[in-house]
């Protein structure tokens, strides 16, 4: 066989191999997308009046006010990447507080309109964006220097990467948090929000968080998404919290985890928002109003079951949920399968694909 003929055969083999790989990848992509339900476009039209959690069995008692605090920073340090507060971490907590009889104020270090990050929206978030009262508050946030701690029953620090830059050294935050904590009022913070707590010193001279059980956005979560986070941020939040003597309470990546240490309530990431808000209500002294658990929360509970007990137990939970007409957000399963690939955990990737497929079949049979 001539060299020219051999070369042709090799090129033909390479070409056929590439075509086969492309077809396999495309086929996998089509199959993967078939597991994920089409987005419900009507959700975008949700208004406050559509939220029965807010409109039915309203708690009309005036239980006082809760202050929510968002960042004023719109870029991540030297990286120049845009940032702000996480809308979902504000909107969902905002409505939990309102539904439980509290008036909600929104403040920021600079006051005025605060920068926002908008993603992973659900019905409550879309309603919030159309809520004229809420829009007025986020477009005209109160300035922290004008805040009087005595006016509030609790304070809640919303996350968002901007919080890493203007929360830790803000003297007004230190003063308000110290006052409220030492007067047994509830202090809450979620995701990057606990950056507000790291430099607060109590009257006894000790750091507020020393010896306390704290949850926040973790090093693993931060570095998986931003490989150069150590150079972009003034510090990694988990490292700072641990260095000040706190007991860092870490949960599974990108899943709900909340820590309650008396009147200090902290959450790990955006998926902890519902839980942290309701835990704050409980620590203030009230039983949280009954709320229909969202499809996202149901998916989170299945993922937690999977990580704790394995695939079989997760499948049992999926079956039970669908049999009881509890909706489930399969998109979250898909997102976590991608996270597993980013972490190099291929076994989890295949297991999670299996759970998505199983959930689809169970749903179709119900």
Q: What is the pLDDT averaged over residues 108-117?
A: 97
Residues 193 and 53: their CA atoms lie apart, in Å, by 26
pLDDT band of 366, cuts 50, 70, 90:
confident
Q: Mean pLDDT, the chain, as a whole number?
A: 90
Is the pLDDT confidence value at 340 over 60?
Answer: yes
Pair type for strands 264-267 and 258-261: antiparallel
Is the pLDDT confidence value at 31 over 50?
Answer: no
> What is the pLDDT, as a whole number, of residue 3?
54
> What is the pLDDT, as a whole number, of residue 24?
46
Q: Give the predicted TM-score (pTM) of the model.
A: 0.91
Beta bridge partners of residue 78, listed in sequence order = none
| Cβ within 8 Å of residue 105, ≥6 positions away | 65, 66, 67, 68, 137, 142, 152
Which domains, and CATH codes, for the chain?
Answer: 45-284 (3.40.50.880), 293-366 (no CATH)
pLDDT band of 365, cuts 50, 70, 90:
confident
Higher per-residue pLDDT: 21 or 248: 248
Give the rounded percent of residues in the chain with a pLDDT score beyond 90. 76
Residues 232 and 223: their CA atoms lie apart, in Å, by 11
């Amino acid at each position: 066989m001539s060299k020219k003929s051999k070369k042709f055969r090799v090129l033909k083999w390479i070409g056929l191999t590439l075509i086969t790989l492309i077809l396999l990848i495309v086929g996998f992509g089509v199959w993967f997308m078939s597991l994920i339900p089409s987005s419900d476009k009507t959700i975008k039209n949700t208004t406050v009046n559509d939220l029965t959690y807010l409109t039915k069995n309203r708690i009309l008692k005036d239980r006082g006010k809760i202050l929510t605090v968002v960042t004023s920073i719109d870029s991540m340090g030297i990286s120049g990447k845009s940032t702000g507060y996480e809308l979902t971490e504000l909107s969902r907590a905002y409505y939990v507080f309102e539904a439980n009889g509290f008036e909600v104020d929104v403040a920021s270090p600079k006051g005025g309109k605060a920068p926002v990050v908008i993603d992973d929206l659900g019905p409550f978030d879309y309603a919030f964006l159309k809520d004229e009262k809420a829009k007025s508050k986020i477009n005209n946030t109160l300035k922290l220097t004008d805040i009087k701690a005595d006016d509030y029953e609790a304070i809640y620090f919303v996350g968002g990467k901007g919080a890493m830059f203007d929360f830790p050294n803000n003297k007004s935050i230190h003063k308000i948090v110290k006052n409220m904590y030492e007067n047994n009022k509830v202090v809450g913070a979620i995701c990057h929000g606990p950056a507000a707590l790291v430099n607060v010193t109590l009257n006894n001279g000790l750091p507020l968080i020393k010896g306390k059980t704290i949850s926040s956005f973790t090093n693993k979560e931060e570095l998986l998404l931003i490989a150069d986070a150590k150079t972009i941020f003034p510090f990694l939040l988990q490292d700072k919290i641990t260095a000040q003597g706190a007991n860092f309470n870490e949960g599974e990546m990108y899943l709900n985890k909340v820590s309650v240490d008396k009147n200090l309530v902290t959450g790990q990431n955006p998926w902890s928002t519902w839980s942290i808000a309701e835990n704050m209500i409980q620590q203030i002294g009230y039983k949280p109003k009954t709320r229909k658990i969202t499809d996202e929360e149901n998916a989170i509970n299945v993922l937690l079951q999977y990580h704790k007990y394995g695939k079989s137990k997760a499948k049992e939970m999926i079956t039970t949920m669908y049999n009881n007409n509890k909706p489930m957000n399969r998109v979250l399963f898909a997102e976590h399968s991608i996270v597993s690939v980013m972490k190099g955990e291929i076994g989890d990737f295949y297991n999670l694909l299996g759970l998505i497929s199983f959930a689809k079949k169970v749903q179709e049979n119900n």
